[in-house]
Amino acid sequence: MDWGLDIGRLFGTRVRIHWIFFIFVLFRLMRADDKQMELIYLLVLFLTVLVHEFGHIFAARHFQLRAEKIVLWPCGGLAFVGAGGSAWEEFWIAFFGPFTQIVLGACAAGWLYFHGGAFQFVADPLMPVMAVPGSASMVDLVVAIIFSVQVWLFAFNVLLPAYPLDGGRMLVALVLNKVGALKASGMAMVLTLISAAYLLSRSDSMLGFFLMIEAAMLYQMRQTGDIFSHPSFSTGSRPLYGNKAKKSAAKPKKTKQVSHLRLVDSKQCPQCGRSLPTTAKMCGFCEISV
């Protein structure tokens, strides 16, 4: 993942573009009929993925975790952040990537709505809403592309329960403490294979093969036992809510002292004169033998 163009630091995070990304862009442009619109689409996709990854970065920083770098490549982006200290931290770090699509999509939808645009619901899980711009102006066309990219990226990352997509990571964070690393990784592996088969059936071969490789890696780690040290599946240091909350000080237990006089009077302590039970071998107040 270090093979690429380093474009510098943005918000304190190093950003790299993998060399395969440029090959992907060139391949898409060569196949496109309208190269101008295809270039605009790829630029919107690039910036959207970058914002998406910074959603993960800022969430990790909120939990005081390291946020090393972002790598952009044809299958999306990778934010290199530290593992959350709890399952809920891991959940929110994964969630705040797709959350950026909600914000950007809402802004684009608002623009289209107030400029005469329309929306159509279609029976496609990865593109459930289509936007029709209100005019043929370049601005409206670009905003419609922005809206479509947000819908597709959100559906792809959240509705597909595949690992390491955000939906799969959130699912693992929710079930890890309940079922353990082995069952959670097995669930993730099966769902990743199903998601890969679905993408391949849609002729989305690149993302489908990527998920197949991820499922194979999970299978290998389960066989070797390395899954228990995997950052996403390690339960040893991954409580449900973490231990950062302040623990309330334990209230001292009230002890009730029982006087010797309330017991059976049979003999007296030679030191204090208190009455002691017959079986007493020591005075509880003076701690001397009787």
Q: Could you give the CA distance from residue 117 to residue 94 in angstroms, rounded to a whole number?
A: 32
Residue-wise pLDDT tens digits, 171-207:
998 888 888 888 999 999 999 999 999 999 887 778 8
Mean pLDDT within 132-148: 91
CB contact at 8 A, 279 and 286: no
Averaged pLDDT of the chain: 82
Q: Higher pLDDT residue, 256 or 113?
A: 113
Residue-wise pLDDT tens digits, 240-288:
655 544 444 445 555 444 444 444 445 777 777 777 676 777 776 666 7
Residue-wise pLDDT tens digits, 15-68:
888 888 888 888 888 888 888 898 999 999 999 999 999 999 999 999 888 888
Domain boundaries, the chain: 161-238
Q: Give the distance, in angstroms, between the CA of residue 127 and the centroid of all CA atoms in the same chain.
A: 23
Tell me the CA end-to-end span of the chain in Å, nearest whole number. Answer: 81
Percent of the chain with pLDDT over 90: 34
User: What is the pTM (predicted TM-score) of this model?
Assistant: 0.75
What b/e readout covers 154-177, taking b as 16+ CB neighbours within 10 angstroms?
bbbbbebbbbbbbbbbbbbbeebb
Q: Higher pLDDT residue, 138 or 232?
A: 138
Residue 231, pLDDT score? 79
Residue 92, pLDDT score? 92
Q: Could you give the CA distance from residue 130 to residue 246 in angstroms, rounded to a whole number?
A: 48
Q: Provide the pLDDT confidence category of residue 2 given band limits of 50, 70 and 90.
A: low
